[in-house]
Amino acid sequence: GAVVSQHPSRVICKSGTSVKIECRSLDFQATTMFWYRQFPKQSLMLMATSNEGSKATYEQGVEKDKFLINHASLTLSTLTVTSAHPEDSSFYICSAHFGGEAFFGQGTRLTVV
């Protein structure tokens, strides 16, 4: 199956700083990638759809200036959490579709202290 790689797997940052998370499709091209947020023992909540070469589309209630998305190439999308606060601490997961199936990255555990 297709592989989606996410980096870093864990990050701890200080409140007020920014953190960048990378999502790569390793063996296929993805014009669209998806970013999710997940709280403990809960399901995935779609935050935004990342579109290669154009602006991301954000789900209702997600601040686009807070969660910056850049999809600069067909294999890379980045999510930057700007001016992070403790309430931004969460598990962030990206995905891309290939062959009609969704493949997920390993997730990034963000802790803001």
Partner 1 sequence: TQLLEQSPQFLSIQEGENLTVYCNSSSVFSSLQWYRQEPGEGPVLLVTVVTGGEVKKLKRLTFQFGDARKDSSLHITAAQPGDTGLYLCAGEPYDYKLSFGAGTTVTVRA
Binding interface with partner 1 (CB under 8 A): 1, 4, 6, 9, 32, 34, 41-44, 46, 49, 91, 93, 95, 97, 100-107, 109
Q: What is the C-alpha to C-alpha distance for residues 90 and 33, in angstroms, rounded to an integer?
A: 19
Cβ(109)–Cβ(7) below 8 Å: no
DSSP 95: E
CB of 44 to partner 1, least distance (A): 5
Smallest distance from partner 1 to CB 51, Å: 11
3-state DSSP assignment of residue 9 = coil
Least gap, CB of 22 to partner 1 (angstroms): 14
